[in-house]
């Protein structure tokens, strides 16, 4: 968390998260991922958290591509990413998961776990074996662990509220909202 704060990655205001929820805190992970050595260090930590025991790293595009690549580099694994096509994540560009390949899903930030779960499901449908979900930041608010179809390990947990848009106190107060994520690009 200290590295994120020192690099200006922790922002306050009124934000629409990639999950669609609203929050008063946003972590602009690219303030650290724009620094190759930091990205490599974070990717290495994720790979080590899973014992480098996977054949492939799969990430959702766009936000997690750098971190996924850095994780694959540390483990000397293949790297692929899923892209949204008509609102659904799919492997394109000739990316495939072979039968019984062990796949680590790497996400940048997990709030609801929606994108990570989509990639885990995509890996399973492709015949691969999801070994886990590694993330730089877990900002989920649940007392119970998220059901992603694979175990979640995060380098940092950010304790920040996130509200459904119709329950957002910042919207109720008329605060302007910013949408800094990449999901709706």
Pick among 3.40.50.2000, 3.40.50.300, 3.40.50.720, 3.40.50.2020: CATH of 36-160: 3.40.50.2020
**pLDDT at site 182:** 55
- Supply the pLDDT for residue 143: 64
* Mean pLDDT (10-residue bins), the chain, 185 residues: 93 90 92 95 97 96 94 97 93 94 96 92 96 94 79 92 94 93 54
In this predicted structure, what is the pLDDT of residue 184? 47
| Residue 106: C-alpha distances to residues 22, 40, 44, 50, 120 (Å) | 23, 13, 12, 11, 10
Contacts of 109 (CB under 8 A, 6+ apart): 18, 27, 29, 63, 135, 136, 137, 138, 139
């Amino acid at each position: 968390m200290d590295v994120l704060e020192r690099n200006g990655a922790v922002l306050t205001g009124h934000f629409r998260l990639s999950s669609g929820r609203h929050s008063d805190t946003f972590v602009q992970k690219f303030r650290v991922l724009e620094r190759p050595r930091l990205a490599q260090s974070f990717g290495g930590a994720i790979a080590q958290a899973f014992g480098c025991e996977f054949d492939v790293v799969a990430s959702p595009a766009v936000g997690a591509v750098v971190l996924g690549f850095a994780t694959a580099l540390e483990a000397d694994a293949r790297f692929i990413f899923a892209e949204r096509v008509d609102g659904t994540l799919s492997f394109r560009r000739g990316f495939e998961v072979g039968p019984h390949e062990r796949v680590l899903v790497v996400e940048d930030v997990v709030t609801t776990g929606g994108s990570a779960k989509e990639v885990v499901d995509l890996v399973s449908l492709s015949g691969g074996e999801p070994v886990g979900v590694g993330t730089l930041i877990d900002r989920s608010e649940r007392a119970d662990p998220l059901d992603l179809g694979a175990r979640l390990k995060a380098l940092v947990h950010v304790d920040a509220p996130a509200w459904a848009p119709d329950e957002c106190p910042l919207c109720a107060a008329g605060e302007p909202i910013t949408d800094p994520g990449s999901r709706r690009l």
